[in-house]
Amino acid sequence: MAIQPIRLFGDPVLRTPAEPVVDFDKELRKLVKDLTDTMMDAPGAGLAAPQIGVGLRVFTYYVDDQLGHLINPELDLGGETDEEGEEGCLSFPGLTFPTPRAIRAVAKGFTMHGEPVTIEGTDLMARCFQHETDHLDGVLFIDRLDAKQRKLAMKAIREAEWSGLSAPVVKISPHATQGRAL
């Protein structure tokens, strides 16, 4: 077991786009193991490498008893949007908000051994793939909320016990509100 500390909102690593994996080596396999151990210990449904301070495009997932990982993921989204599904994040302990996500996602990427894989997910699995791939782009679930929910989220974050170690930064979402971050 190699459980790592999970970085919390406010840590700049969570806002830094991760680099593609180039070397499918022993260190990558250790990273996948650390992510898996840390995710299962939390416990969580998914964990992205930046959440343990590693800027590589790698995530693990554990949804509907399916445990896996994906390297250098690319997503194709389809189906309707689930506007109401509650979503949380291990980097925002204790908080969940209704977060719009596509209900289907086809994730293409590689295993830690460099083999190409395609995984199709619906519902929670699709949500997980979108959430984790966002992490690799420095995007957080609060960026996906509508204006009202984001306002609630920022208030809850300010009041959270874990918050305040560094100044939070919120990106302006593509759907934003006259360019104002709430």
Is position 89 annotated in a ligand binding site? yes
| Interface positions with Zn ion (CB under 5 A) | 89
Q: How far is the CB of 111 from Zn ion (least distance, A)?
A: 22
Q: How far is the CB of 23 from Zn ion (least distance, A)?
A: 25
154 burial type by CB count under 10 A (0-12 exposed, 13-18 middle, 19+ buried)? middle
73 and 133 Cβ atoms separated by less than 8 Å: yes
Query: Does 27 participate in catalysis according to the annotation?
Result: no
Which is closer to Zn ion, CB of 39 or CB of 89? 89
Q: Which of 115, 132, 159, 161 is catalytic?
A: 132
Edge-first strand listing for the sheet containing 116-122: 46-48, 58-63, 66-82, 101-110, 116-122
Between 7 and 24, CB nearer to Zn ion: 7
Is 131 labelled as part of a ligand binding site? yes
CA pair distance 96, 4, nearest whole angstrom: 23
Is 128 marked as a binding-site residue?
no
Of the two residues 32 and 128, which places its CB atom closer to Zn ion in the complex?
128
Q: How big, in percent rounded to 5, are the helix, strand and coil portions of the chain?
A: 30, 30, 40
Structure tokens belonging to residue 22: 């180039």
Q: C-beta of 157: minimal distance to Zn ion in Å?
A: 14
Catalytic residue positions? 132
Q: Which residues make up each annotated binding site?
A: 89, 131, 135
